[in-house]
């Protein structure tokens, strides 16, 4: 298995529907691996991703970049209803902080 493929973002969760653990990779949302233990779910999805990356490279495709290696500016635009914008601006003013600080604080608590 390639070390580059180990830089992808893997998640293991329990599936009530399947009554098994499911391994997923955020950069490859269509891939998954079901099994009885979380350890084998991780091992399985890593192998599936490794195979997918190898196949993509062999066919001349460029695999997705790992999220861990991407740079983020810290800026994004959010559209929301004007009444929500107004309510948030009021809450920020009441707390004596900027709207940006209020929203950043709320998002960091997710």
Counting the structural domains of the chain, the total is 2
The boundaries of the domain holding residue 95 are 72-108
How confident is the model at residue 6, as a pLDDT?
82
Which domain CATH number covers 24? Answer: 3.30.160
Same-domain pairing of 12 and 64: yes
**pLDDT tens digits, one per residue of 32-91:** 999 999 999 999 999 999 999 999 999 999 999 999 889 989 998 999 999 999 999 999
Is the model's pLDDT at 3 over the cut of 80? no
Do 35 and 13 touch, CB atoms closer than 8 A? no
Q: Which two tokens stand for residue 47?
A: 């192998």
**Cα distance between residue 44 and residue 28, in whole Å:** 14
């Amino acid at each position: 298995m390639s070390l580059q493929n180990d830089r992808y973002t893997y998640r293991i969760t329990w599936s009530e529907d399947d009554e098994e653990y499911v391994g997923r990779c955020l950069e490859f949302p269509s891939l998954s691996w079901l099994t009885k233990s979380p350890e084998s779910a991780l091992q399985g999805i890593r192998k599936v991703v490794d195979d997918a990356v190898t196949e993509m490279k062999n066919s001349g495709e460029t695999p997705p970049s790992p999220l861990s290696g991407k740079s983020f500016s810290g800026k994004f635009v959010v559209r929301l209803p004007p009444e929500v914008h107004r309510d948030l601006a009021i809450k920020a003013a009441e707390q004596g902080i900027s709207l940006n600080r209020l929203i950043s604080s709320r998002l960091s608590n997710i």
